[in-house]
Amino acid sequence: MSPSPLFAAPKGTRDILPGESRRFEKLVATFSDFAHRYGFGLIVSPLFEDVGVFHRGIGEQSDVARKEMYVFEDRSGRRLALRPEGTASVVRAFVQHHPVTPWKVWYLTPAFRYEQPQAGRYRQHHQLGVEALGTDDPTLDVEVITLAWRFYEAVGLRQISLMINSMGHRACREPYLELLRQHLETHEGELCDEHRALWRTNALRVLDCKQESCVGVTAPGPMLIDHVCEECRAHFQIVRDGLDSLGVTYSVNPRLVRGFDYYTRTTFEFVSGAMNSAQNAVGGGGRYDRLAEELGGDPTSGIGFGSGLERLMLALEAESIVALDDSSIDVFIVDTAGGQSSLVLVEALRAVGLSAERSYDQRSMKSQMKLADRSGARLALLIGPRERESDTVTIRDLRGTDEAQRQHSVALLDATATVLQLLTK
RNA sequence: GUGGGCGUAGCUCAGUUGGUUAGAGCGCCAGGUUGUGGUCCUGGAGGCCGCGGGUUCGACCCCCGUCGCUCACCCCA
């Protein structure tokens, strides 16, 4: 940093290095495990798509589509964009391949948005998510939300709260929007500066505004949840009943409006109560009943959930959860005899599935012991001239307390078996 | 796009109204009598004080510019 390097990671991006990346790995592994348990298969799709996939997918008026996408032309003049979120690509793949429904997939993906970076907001961030297409069964909504809930629980988060809402479907949203606009029009003067100018083009956004002035206007006004049609109301009720019977606690937030235009009916968001930044939404999602059509497919209902890895890691930090950070190894080989013995031994240990490490560059025993300690290894295997001479190794328990039992000598040929035995008891 | 803060050792930061060899803690390396870590002690390596210009006898410090980082608004994960 000080002798300013020639290159640094671009603004709003960062390197996740060993140490921190351990957390990242464990989160991904945990999510993958849950996704499989809930019947989702992995989808890996291109990071860039025809720009239309995102324009039509997430809505041309959304902020993300309008001013935050990384759009570029390839050498043949195709208009492409880096994926700003996960859902649109999945739906494009669904439309392209006509899979048997219900189609349930999960993903891990970077997402790119050209924004001013700040705490918990990056130009490249990473998302874990699931999407399920081909049915509008509300109990599937329950499963998706529950998967997310259990996942957060499993990684140790306690201060997470779930908010849900229903956006209705297109036919019941239109009359509501009319009502809302009328209400906003009569109170136009009381809105915050920004929404006084903007309420006509995106009335729903006003509901999400945190300014006191706007809240004052919208609080007594009409709420979408009270104006959805009978079918949407019934759908939402089944979602609520399902969550109740699975023991997932939530609150209904009629003001919950999510950022993409494609949502219909169920929407939800998970917020960390431990984070003090404004970027405390760790994950969210909802149902989208028109996205497949929008991308040229048959009308197909879908529901998905996405969680930001960086937000997740910030939330873990905010709750001081370190359970995922352990990167210690099983065995460290301390070798002062030189030659190939430690190379051969470390390979033998790795071959039976242990994580084994050694030091390089012929360091003193003291300094190698130091490395062994810091590696977190449970055992150190010592090979010095004496062991070399007698074809033995000295096994030292680095974590034990019984001084008499901490160290003993075994034949080199028995070392791996003895280590395995010691580690499993 | 708008506004605030900050750039000094690998990291976190001190640096006295501008004064001569730029500091601490942590980390790293090596020692503390000849083969044993986590504690302790000693020593060492490591800085164009982000970059460029200006003011001054003299600038890490003041002024201008520039680049970068960061936080917030907006929006989002």
Q: Which residue would you say has higher pLDDT here, A278 or A43?
A: A43
Non-local CB neighbours of A311 within 8 Å, separated by 6+ positions: A120, A125, A272, A275, A279, A280, A281, A282, A283
DSSP string for residues in A35-98: HHHTT-EE----SEEEHHHHHHHH-TTSHHHHHS--EEE-TT--EEEE-SSSHHHHHHHHHHH-
Write out pLDDT tens, residues A76-114: 999 999 999 999 999 999 999 999 999 999 999 999 999
Closest amino acid to nucleotide B77 (CA–C1'): A308
ipTM of the prediction:
0.86
Tell me which residues from 361 to 400 on chain A have a beta carbon below 7 angstroms from nucleic acid strand B.
363-367, 369-374, 382-387, 394, 396, 398-399
User: Shortest CA distance to A306 belongs to which of A166, A151, A119, A121?
Assistant: A151
Closest amino acid to nucleotide B69 (CA–C1'): A11
Nearest DNA or RNA nucleotide to A112 (CA to C1')? B77
Token pair for A191: 């809105």
Gap between the Cα atoms of A164 and A257, Å rounded: 10
Non-local CB neighbours of A230 within 8 Å, separated by 6+ positions: none
Write out pLDDT tens, residues A378-412: 999 999 999 999 999 999 999 877 777 789 999 99
User: What percent of chain A clears pLDDT 70, i.e. is strictly above it?
Assistant: 99
Gap between the Cα atoms of A117 and A79, Å rounded: 25
Classified as helix, coil or strand, A115 is coil
Tell me which residues from 192 to 251 on chain A have a beta carbon below 7 angstroms from nucleic acid strand B.
194, 205, 208-211
Gap between the Cα atoms of A241 and A308, Å rounded: 27
User: Shortest CA distance to A89 belongs to which of A40, A58, A49?
Assistant: A49
CATH code of the domain occupying A331-424: 3.40.50.800
- Cβ atoms of A327 and A22 closer than 8 Å: yes
Residue A87 approaches strand B within 7 Å at CB: no
How far the first Cα of chain A sits from its last, in Å, is 47
Gap between the Cα atoms of A318 and A106, Å rounded: 27
Note the helical H segments in A123-249. 138-154, 170-186, 193-198, 203-208, 212-218, 230-245
- In one-letter notation, the amino acid at residue A294 is E
β-strand partners of A266: A166
- Cβ atoms of A419 and A410 closer than 8 Å: no
Class of domain A20-169+251-318: alpha beta
The domain spans of chain A are 20-169+251-318, 170-227, 331-424
Confidence grade of residue A2 (pLDDT, cut at 50, 70, 90): very low
How long is the CA A348 to C1' B67 vector, in angstroms?
Answer: 52
- In one-letter notation, the amino acid at residue A25 is E
- Cβ atoms of A58 and A31 closer than 8 Å: no
How long is the CA A128 to C1' B77 vector, in angstroms?
Answer: 10
Give the bases of strand B that a protein CB approaches within 7 Å.
1-3, 7-12, 28-31, 35-38, 47-51, 68-77
Gap between the Cα atoms of A393 and A391, Å rounded: 7
- Cβ atoms of A191 and A213 closer than 8 Å: yes
Q: Which residue would you say has higher pLDDT here, A263 or A415?
A: A415
Confidence grade of residue A1 (pLDDT, cut at 50, 70, 90): very low
